[in-house]
Structure 1
Amino acid sequence: MGYDAELGAAVERAQHGDEDAFATAYRLVQPGLIGYVRGLVGDDAEDVAADAWLEIARDLGRFRGDGAGFRGWTATIARHRALDHLRRLKRRPRTSLLEQDVLELPGGQDTAAAALEALSTEHALRLIGSLPREQAEAVLLRVVVGLDGQAAAQVLGKRPGAVRTAAHRGLKGLAERLARAGEGAGTSGAARTPRDET
């Protein structure tokens, strides 16, 4: 990712108590992290990510590494919180779906554009979620979080080659699904298969 140098510098300053630097690190990492967590736990992603950020803030002084390493470290923590959440749900399923969302004041952004972006993100995550779990997690870590093969492998506890293969198969499966959907919608042309980067 192009911002890893900025992220590494922000993390280093945050470790010395700079709250603005922590906010910068959060701003750089959160979009990819929330996409990854949403791919694992669905609608509970905000709560799980919030739990992960509490742990990240608490343990920030123990982190050692650069910007890319910080993204991997935060993804590992978020994955652990997501798996804990899924285990809790398995033991104690929800009895009610009546959760009231907190009302948000309108921001300065274009509401229509934000809604379209949310829909396309939701659609993309739903497509990724339809992949086998191993492939879905590899795609989320490689594409959404932006980790390289080595860092994604560390998060998943697998060999880098296995993660690259799973990501490649997942991306190929997504391309095939998109091509079929395009054919069903009457579009022509072959979909390009995304290539997995090393």
Structure 2
Amino acid sequence: MTPRAEPDLELENAAKAAGEGDPAAISAVLATIQPKVIRYCRARIGPSRQGYASADDVAQDVLLAVFTALPSYRDEGKSFLSFMFGIAAHKVADFHRKQRREPSTAVADVPERADSGNGPEQALLQAEMRQMVRDLVGTLPEKHQDVLVHRIMGEMTSEETAELLSSTPGAVRVAQHRALNSLRRRVTRQR
């Protein structure tokens, strides 16, 4: 036997034992194939702007799929590495198909909010609605505006808002109640 054939034979024996549920054999198989899987995925996918993150994610999927498939592995004339690379090829192909279907662009910073996916018409309607709300809130006394901005838009508690506005929590809640009632009356009159 050549020196190269011995590790393959060890892997074949470990794969058979792993298929029968031997935990030590499962660990040995996964430890042996992990570097091969990572190299394969990195070669087939290549680096992205974040390095090899996508390739490493696919490699992790391959290892998980191999782990799941171990109980069904049977020596049918092909080597375990052929079995493993077959799984890897399918996972890489799935990755490339997904990339074609759902192209994404890497960005330096994650946006604060997800894009709602609305079209231009919906975006225009939302912008008009925001402007109407701003105009309506602008008709309130300044104290009421401050309370609404901090309580509703800033999602602050009445205690936090009171501290910020040098007031009491009770006064903040009363001001919020009065401001909302005032807005409600104005909207009702506009209909």
Which category of TM-score, normalised to the shorter sequence, fits these structures?
Answer: 0.3 to 0.5
Higher relative contact order (CA 8 A, sep 6+): 1
TM-score by length of 1: 0.45
Rg (Cα) greater in structure: 2
